[in-house]
Amino acid sequence: MKKLVILSGAGISAESGISTFRDAGGLWDKYPVMQVASIEGYEADPELVINFYNERRKQLLDVKPNQGHMLCAELEKYFDVTVVTQNVDNLHERAGSHNIIHLHGELTKVCSSYNPNNPKYIKELRPEEFEVKMGDKAGDGSQLRPFIVWFGEDVPRIADAAYEAEKADIFVIIGTSMNVYPAAGLLNYVPYNSDIYLIDPKDVHIETDRKITHIKKGASEGMKELMRMIAGV
C-alpha cells in the first residue's frame, strides 16, 4: 500500500467555520499575535491567554468536520495515510483519521506551565471541561496552560513529521500558505520521485524546484478532485 502524507493547515478548518489566524479578518487582526501565542505573552498576562484558548475551545464545540476532513479519512481505504497538521483543532480526529501528528499542539489538551511536553502532566479535556481557570493546577503544581506550541517554543513532533515525509509516495499540501516553519520545510524531506499535490483556491508561492500539481479549489472540492485523480473514485 502506498504511503500518503497530508500536510494540512488553517484553510481546511476554515470551511468548518474556524477562524484562521493569518487571513484578513482572522484572529491575528483581533489579538496581537505575541500577546496570545508566545511564552512572553503568557507570562505577562496568563489569564488573558487562558481565556483566549477557552474561547477557541468553546468554538470547537459548535463546529463539525467538513468534507475535506472526511475525505482525508476516507483515503485510508486506499493508502497508508499520515496526517501532519498545523491545526490545533480535533476535526481530523472527529472525521475518522487515525494517524495524526499535531505540530502545533492540541486545543483540547492542557499541560504544565513548567514543562509543557512532559506527558505525565498533559491532560485531555472533556467537552464539558473546556473552561480552564486561573488556579487550576497541573500535577506538578504549576498553572494548567494550553497544550499549544507558541512562537519561540520548540516543535517537539517535527522529527516525527519529517520521518513520515521521507516515506511519502504521495505528499498532499492542503490549506496552508507554506509560510510557517518548520512545517513548510517538510517538503524538503519528500523523496524526489514522489507525487506532490497542492490544494488551495489561491496561488501559493513555494520555494522549490519540485513539480507540484496545483488543484485550485477549496478544501472540500479540492479533496474530491484529488480522490478522483489518485484513487479513481
**What pLDDT digit, counting tens, does each position of 30-82 carry?**
677 788 899 999 999 999 999 989 988 988 998 999 999 999 999 999 999 99
Give burial (CB, 10 Å; 0-12/13-18/19+) of 61.
Answer: exposed
Three cell numbers at 60?
Answer: 470547537
Same domain assignment for residues 69 and 180: yes
Residues 227 and 171 in one domain: yes
Residue 2 makes CB contacts below 8 A (sequence gap 6+) with: 79, 80, 169, 170
The list of the chain residues with pLDDT below 70 reads: 19-30
205 is catalytic: no
Predicted pLDDT at 95: 98
The Cα 105–Cα 140 span in angstroms is 20
Residue 59: the pLDDT is 87
231 and 172 assigned to the same domain: yes
Enclosing domain of residue 51: 19-62+109-148
* 202 and 232 belong to one structural domain: yes
Residue of 98, 102, 104, 214 marked active site: 104
Rg of the chain, C-alpha, whole Å: 18
What's the structural domain count of the chain? 2
Q: Report the pLDDT value the prediction gives residue 24, as an integer from 0 to 100.
A: 46
Q: What is the pLDDT of residues 18-29, one digit of tens each?
A: 865 554 444 545
For residue 212, what is the domain's CATH number? Answer: 3.40.50.1220
Sign of CA dihedral 41, 43, 49, 54: positive
Pairing of strands 170-174, 213-215: unpaired
pLDDT at 177: 79
Q: What is the pTM of this model?
A: 0.92
Among candidate residues 11, 57, 64, the one with its CA nearest the CA of residue 199: 11
Residue in this structure with the C-alpha cell 476535526, named with its chain if needed: 91
Beta-strand runs (E) in 69-141 = 80-85, 100-102, 105-112, 123-124
Distance, in Å, from the CA atom of 147 to the CA atom of 96, rounded to the nearest integer, reads 22
